[in-house]
Structure 1
Amino acid sequence: MHKGVFYALMAATLFGASTPFAKLLLAKASPVSVAGLLYLGSGLGLLLWYVLRATLSRKEEGETTGLKRQDLPWLSGAVVAGGIAGPVLLMLGLSMTAASSAALLLNMEGVLTAMLAWFVFRENFDRRIFIGMLLIVAAGILLSWEQTPALGVPWGALAIIGACLCWAIDNNLTRKISASDAVQIAGIKGLVAGTVNLLIAMIMGATLPDATTVLMAGIVGFCGYGLSLVLFVLALRHLGTARTGAYFSAAPFVGAAISLLMLGDRPGITFCLAAILMGTGIWLHLTEHHEHEHEHEAMEHAHEHVHDEHHQHEHDFAWDGKQPHAHAHRHLPMVHAHAHYPDIHHRHGH
């Protein structure tokens, strides 16, 4: 399996599994408080990981993948959209929606991510990928319709779709800095978003729940938001935004399965039909094959790599031959053909 696909599917599994647990937490704290605790748990856990890694590892001279000053605008936008607005909307939606249906509605994140990647950030796509996204959209519409009350608007479903839009913006902005340290990116997002959301909750009059609930929220946040986001950033690096979003569409099925087993939700015909449509759409993405002759322009960046056909360069520091390793390096122009994704080395036109 391509490692980018593995990263995306693992990220999806962790995030999907967190949805029903977040639903349980809403019984003990306000939506904004839960959003803050989840992200703060993510940030604190990743901060500990970052410090331990820096303490225990010995990097060679020149090894660096940390964020640069020019990355900060992209990171700031991602934090506001995906770390602050997105989680609050999700918790509000979960408070009004069955966890199993909410989990499947989260598939809209992959669709909206792809739409922005294709039409705003000009990432390539083909008919197969487009049809798969249409099937996922149809499933999302079915689930939203099922949530419509007798009178009024399905605010729960709309709030969850709003959260998906926020995360779609976050994903496309994060792709711009995905070559940087994934732990650092995810850790900053968690710390900033968690702190801001908790402050908002306190201003709104919320109080912190008991210590057990706080601890549970921290653990769920670290696994479902922190580790998941680290893996998601790595997937962005290797697959591009739209493809990562497509593979990440597996997340809601994990959440829905756990919800059905753990919370006793009963799926109806609409739910089952939506699951079939979404599953077919994901299958179309998983079976994609993209290969053609393409040109690499000269570029310079820093990320962890091995000396494959795309990384034939010299070192301006003493290198012990260890691979993979990370440092700033330059790519020379080249033309060749092979199967590929729109990763950090394949952002060419078609």
Structure 2
Amino acid sequence: MTKKHLGSIYLATAATIWGGMYVVSKVVLTVIQPIELVWLRYVVALITLIMVGIVTRQSWRIRRQDFPHILAIGVIGYDISIWTQFVGTKLSSAQMGAMITSATPALMVIFARLLLKEKITFRKGLSTCIAMIGVLCIVGVGDIGDANQLGGMVLGIAALSWALMSVLIKRIPSSYSQLVVTTYAILIATVLITPFAFSQLDQAQIYALSQPAIWSGVLYLGIVATAAAFFLWNKGLQMVDAGSGGLYFFFQPIAGTILAWLFLGERVGITFWIGAILILSGVFLVVKES
């Protein structure tokens, strides 16, 4: 297995895990507010990554000139992008959220060209277009026009910031352990988000954490969907072109829809399966190119 193929597996796994977050978050968010949930998952992820780092005897030393890039990953990706996703969806609709954030791979292609001088090949451009059409089939285009325009603008910031963060990861020297890089970035994000989370935390939410379904959901979101998925995404992007790597982001709506169908009883129509085939076809074009 080549380095690029292994990176593809890492990226697809991370995006699939994020798709599964929809099912778990739907339960947890009934009692925990979004900003507090983000903080809790980051704290759990941080503890997990530090423990793994200590057990595996990672070197935690980062050169001063590389710290700004890690700071940018934490602030732009793990704070701004995640927060604007929640706010934008609240101001508009989940459908618009899926629509606009699905532009992330295309934005990654552009940022990779501007910042990393990666070539935009015909196959890369075609695969991105095919996959984005697949996303349109999955989320639909029904009442998008009725959604709040401000929410759409905020969601645009979410897509833009995650794409920029994903490309900046390529600026981190490959000599660093991605576990260490991910830990520092989540630490930065946690410190910045802590004041906002504590200002809204109340006794009812603290009590809710004693419920097995809630605390187990928080543990899943922190350990699997944050610590593991962020690490896999960062590791995968180090192994493939940034522009091509963005395509694996499209595994998120596929996994989310299938799991919602299986566990929440949500309906899945023929357009979903058409969209899934188009997304997988787009990814196949990139894998074949590599």
- TM-score, with length taken from structure 2: 0.81
Query: What is the rounded CA distance, in whole Å, between the counterparts of 2:62 and 2:102 in structure 1?
Result: 30
Q: Which residue of 1 aligns with 2:8?
A: 5
Q: Which residue of 2 aligns with 1:188?
A: 184
C-alpha change, 1:141 and 1:250, in structure 2 (3 Å) is closer
Q: Which residue of 1 aligns with 2:27?
A: 24
AA aligned opposite 1:258:
L
Query: What is the rounded CA distance, in whole Å, between the counterparts of 1:11 and 1:90 in structure 2?
Result: 18
The structure 1 residue matched to 2:159, chosen from 144, 155, 164, is: 164
Cα deviation digits, residues 174-227 of structure 1 (max 9, x gap): 211151111111112223323432421333x34344224345223312211211
Q: How many residues align?
A: 278
Q: Which residue of 2 aligns with 1:331?
A: none
AA aligned opposite 1:20:
V
Query: What is the rounded CA distance, in whole Å, between the counterparts of 1:152 and 1:247 in structure 2?
Result: 27
Query: What is the rounded CA distance, in whole Å, between the counterparts of 2:13 and 2:110 in structure 1?
Result: 23
The structure 2 residue matched to 1:89, chosen from 79, 84, 89, is: 84
Query: What is the rounded CA distance, in whole Å, between the counterparts of 2:163 and 2:269 in structure 1?
Result: 28
Query: What is the rounded CA distance, in whole Å, between the counterparts of 1:225 and 1:219 in structure 2?
Result: 9
Does 2:267 align with 1:266? Answer: yes
Higher helix proportion: 2
Higher strand proportion: 1
AA aligned opposite 2:197:
A
The structure 2 residue matched to 1:131, chosen from 108, 126, 134, is: 126
Matches within 5 A, 1:302-341: none
Does 2:237 align with 1:236? Answer: yes
Unpaired stretches in structure 1, ≥5 consecutive residues: 58-63, 290-350
Stretch moving more, 235-244 or 270-279: 270-279
Return the offset for 1:234.
1.8
AA aligned opposite 1:193:
A
Matches within 5 A, 1:88-127: 88-93=83-88, 97=93, 106-127=101-122
AA aligned opposite 2:108:
T
Aligned to 2:117, what secondary structure does the other structure show? coil
Query: What is the rounded CA distance, in whole Å, between the counterparts of 2:131 and 2:27 in structure 1?
Result: 27
Stretch moving more, 266-275 or 129-138: 266-275
Q: Which has the higher contact order (CA 8 A, sep 6+)?
A: 2
Contact 1:128 1:285 in 2 (8 A): yes
Query: What is the rounded CA distance, in whole Å, between the counterparts of 2:56 and 2:45 in structure 1?
Result: 16
Contact 2:257 2:268 in 1 (8 A): no
Identity %: 21
Query: What is the rounded CA distance, in whole Å, between the counterparts of 2:180 and 2:80 in structure 1?
Result: 21
- TM-score, with length taken from structure 1: 0.69
Contact 2:169 2:238 in 1 (8 A): no
Matches within 5 A, 1:240-255: 240-255=241-256
C-alpha change, 1:144 and 1:77, in structure 2 (3 Å) is farther
C-alpha change, 1:215 and 1:14, in structure 2 (3 Å) is same
Q: Which residue of 1 aligns with 2:69?
A: 74
AA aligned opposite 1:73:
P
Contact 2:101 2:156 in 1 (8 A): yes
